[in-house]
Structures are given as structure tokens and as C-alpha cells.
């Protein structure tokens, strides 16, 4: 292959693309943990919300729908808080120009944000679920794999949607506020099946497969839209 077609370190095509996604995600994670107050505030927010819910509902029987709804509403807010500073921060600091100057595709830039956001949401979400298990009835009856699957799929869906919306609004005035407003309606198709699947799992009675199918279908849809349009989002 001629040198001008080489991407980096001998990697080509998809391999180079995935390597770029990983480099970008690591950069974001490293930056994030260098200012730990943001992660700490996310964890404090989760603890506070679960504690209030636990103390308010504690003592009596808490319906599984309520526990599942609480978890996913909190995950939505965690996603919002994570992504309000994602592309907007790159744009405000001027580092977006640096990303656009790199020899990688716009999709790799988005992919980096999605991987970074998903890992962060999974990390803080795990702490949230630990708190939920402490203060609210969260009896999984050994079905940990199914629980992790719903959690991972939902978190990835929220992250992908939020990253895309965050990219869409980054050049707008009040991009932070816009993201919060826009993310709620576009997240509904992720939240509803995720809550249904988790309710079915927690109650041990319902069927969670149809809800998971819906969740995967919406993930596929948002992924297709993102792949087709994100290059235009970054273009000025």
C-alpha cells in the first residue's frame, strides 16, 4: 500500500478507525479523571436521589416498576450531565479544530465520545445500582447476566443518542440547555423498553424479550441515522 494511503502504525480501514475511536475515548477519560470533581458530583447526585427515594419509599413494598423507572430516570440524567460538556467543551475550548485536523473520520470522533460516555455511564451507573441495592429492593434472583445486558444496551443507546444530539447542538447558543431539552424526547424509545425489560426482570413474571427487541431495533435505527449524517454535523 502506498505511504499516502497508510493510516497509522500499519493499521488500515476499520482497524485504524477502531484504534482512533479508542485513542479519542482514552483521551476523554484521562481528561475526565484529571478533574474528578465532575465524576464525584455524578456519584453524589446518584447517591442523593437513591437515598431520598429509599427513605421515602422504605419500609413498605416498592413495586419493581418504580425501582426500574428510578434507575433509568437517573441514568438519563447522568447521560445528560456527561454529555452537556462533551462536544460543547471541545467547541468552546477550540480543541474541536484539533480533532477535525486529525487524519480520522468524523465517525471516529463521534465513536470516541460514545465509548467515553458509555464507559463513564456504566461506571457511575454501577455505583448507582449498588446504592439502589442498598436502599431499595433489587432482587435479581441470580439473573445478573440479563440485568447487565439490559443495563449495557440501555446505557449504550442513551450514550449514542446523547453524543449525536450533543454534536448537533454544539454550535448553537445555549447548547447545554438545548441538549437537555432535545435528549428527553429522543431518549423515550430507549427508556421505555429499558424500563419494561428491567421491570420484567425484577418482577420475575413478565416477558423481557419483546422489550429488548424494541431496544435493539431503536439502537440500530439511531446508529444508522448517525452513520449517515454525522459527517455533515461536523462540517462547517
Pick the piece of the chain touching another protein (CB under 8 A) from 19-27, 47-55, 125-133, 181-189: 19-27
Does residue 7 belong to the site contacting another protein (CB under 8 A)?
Answer: yes
How many residues of this chain bind another protein (CB under 8 A)? 27
Q: Give how far Cα 210 sits from Cα of 42, 156, 191, 217, Å.
A: 32, 18, 14, 10
Pick the piece of the chain touching another protein (CB under 8 A) from 8-16, 166-174, 175-183, 218-226: 8-16
Give the residue, chosen from 40, 52, 55, 102, that forms a contact with another protein under the rule CB under 8 A.
102
4 within 8 A of 43, measured Cβ to Cβ: no
**How far is 109 from 107, CA to CA, in rounded Å?**
5
Give the residue, chosen from 48, 93, 188, 213, that forms a contact with another protein under the rule CB under 8 A.
93
Does residue 113 belong to the site contacting another protein (CB under 8 A)?
Answer: no
For the chain, the C-alpha Rg in angstroms (whole number) is: 19
Give the residue, chosen from 1, 5, 145, 228, that forms a contact with another protein under the rule CB under 8 A.
5
Does residue 37 belong to the site contacting another protein (CB under 8 A)?
Answer: no
**How far is 72 from 125, CA to CA, in rounded Å?**
10
Closest by CA to 111, choosing from 183, 187, 28, 22, is: 22
Beta strands in the chain, from DSSP E residues, in sequence order = none
Judged by beta carbon, residue 5 or residue 145, the one nearer another protein is 5
Over the range 17-41, which residues count as b (16 or more CB within 10 Å of their CB) and which as e? Answer: bebbbeebbeebbeebeeeeeebee
Does residue 209 belong to the site contacting another protein (CB under 8 A)?
Answer: no
Sign of the dihedral defined by the CA atoms of residues 111, 114, 115, 116, in that order:
positive
Judged by beta carbon, residue 105 or residue 203, the one nearer another protein is 105
Judged by beta carbon, residue 27 or residue 143, the one nearer another protein is 27
Least Å distance, CB 190 to another protein, is 30
Does residue 13 belong to the site contacting another protein (CB under 8 A)?
Answer: no
Judged by beta carbon, residue 30 or residue 184, the one nearer another protein is 30
> What is the SS3 assignment for 58?
coil
Judged by beta carbon, residue 100 or residue 143, the one nearer another protein is 100
183 within 8 A of 162, measured Cβ to Cβ: yes
Give the residue, chosen from 48, 97, 210, 220, that forms a contact with another protein under the rule CB under 8 A.
97
Q: Judging by beta carbons within 10 Å of its beta carbon (0-12, 13-18, 19+), is residue 51 exposed, middle or buried?
A: middle
Does residue 100 belong to the site contacting another protein (CB under 8 A)?
Answer: yes
Give the residue, chosen from 1, 14, 35, 145, that forms a contact with another protein under the rule CB under 8 A.
35
Positions that interact with another protein (CB under 8 A):
4-10, 20, 23, 27, 30-31, 34-35, 93-95, 97-98, 100-105, 235-236
Amino acid at each position: 500500500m502506498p505511504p499516502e494511503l497508510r493510516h497509522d502504525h500499519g493499521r488500515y480501514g476499520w482497524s485504524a478507525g477502531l484504534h482512533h475511536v479508542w485513542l479519542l475515548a482514552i483521551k476523554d477519560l484521562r481528561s475526565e479523571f484529571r478533574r474528578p470533581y465532575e465524576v464525584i458530583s455524578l456519584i453524589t447526585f446518584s447517591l442523593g436521589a437513591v437515598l431520598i427515594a429509599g427513605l421515602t419509599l422504605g419500609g413498605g413494598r416498592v413495586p419493581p416498576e418504580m425501582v426500574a423507572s428510578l434507575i433509568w430516570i437517573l441514568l438519563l440524567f447522568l447521560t445528560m450531565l456527561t454529555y452537556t460538556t462533551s462536544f460543547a467543551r471541545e467547541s468552546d475550548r477550540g480543541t474541536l479544530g484539533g480533532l477535525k485536523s486529525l487524519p480520522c473520520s468524523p465517525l471516529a470522533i463521534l465513536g470516541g465520545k460514545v465509548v467515553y460516555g458509555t464507559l463513564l455511564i456504566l461506571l457511575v451507573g454501577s455505583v448507582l445500582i449498588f446504592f439502589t441495592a442498598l436502599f431499595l429492593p433489587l432482587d435479581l434472583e441470580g439473573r445478573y447476566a440479563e440485568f447487565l445486558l439490559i443495563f449495557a444496551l440501555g446505557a449504550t443507546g442513551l450514550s449514542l443518542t446523547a453524543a449525536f444530539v450533543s454534536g448537533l447542538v454544539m454550535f448553537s447558543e445555549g447548547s447545554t440547555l438545548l441538549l437537555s431539552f432535545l435528549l428527553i424526547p429522543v431518549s423515550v424509545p430507549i427508556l421505555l423498553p429499558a424500563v419494561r425489560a428491567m421491570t420484567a426482570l425484577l418482577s420475575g413474571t413478565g416477558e423481557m424479550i419483546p422489550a429488548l427487541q424494541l431496544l435493539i431495533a431503536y439502537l440500530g435505527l439511531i446508529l444508522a441515522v448517525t452513520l449517515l449524517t454525522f459527517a455533515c454535523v461536523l462540517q462547517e
